[in-house]
Amino acid sequence: MTVLGHDWYAGEVPANVALGERSWLYSSFAFVHHRSERDPSVRVGPDSGVYVGSYFDLGPEGEVEIGRYCAVAGAIFPPTAVS
């Protein structure tokens, strides 16, 4: 797991989250409801930013890929509905 040096939240980025080079994540709090078992479950491309209000509320099978040079602000990635 990764600890963000600038983080206000005393949490860690899950081990199955891949952050690209020079990418920015505002806080590990974005993963407070993250439950995905996929590896990787979240991929953030290089030179991208995930900003305040973005949350990865992923269920066990959830997966998100954010490309290169992207900005994500205030997005909520909900758990996948399973019937």
> 34-55 pLDDT, tens per residue?
999 999 999 999 999 999 999 9
Spatial contact of 57 and 30, defined as CB atoms under 8 Å apart = no
Number of H helices, E strands in the chain: 0, 8
- How confident is the model at residue 81, as a pLDDT? 56
- How confident is the model at residue 64, as a pLDDT? 96
- How confident is the model at residue 1, as a pLDDT? 74
pLDDT over 70 (residue 82)? no
Question: What is the chain's mean pLDDT, rounded?
Answer: 94
3-state helix, strand, coil in the chain (%, to 5): 5, 30, 65
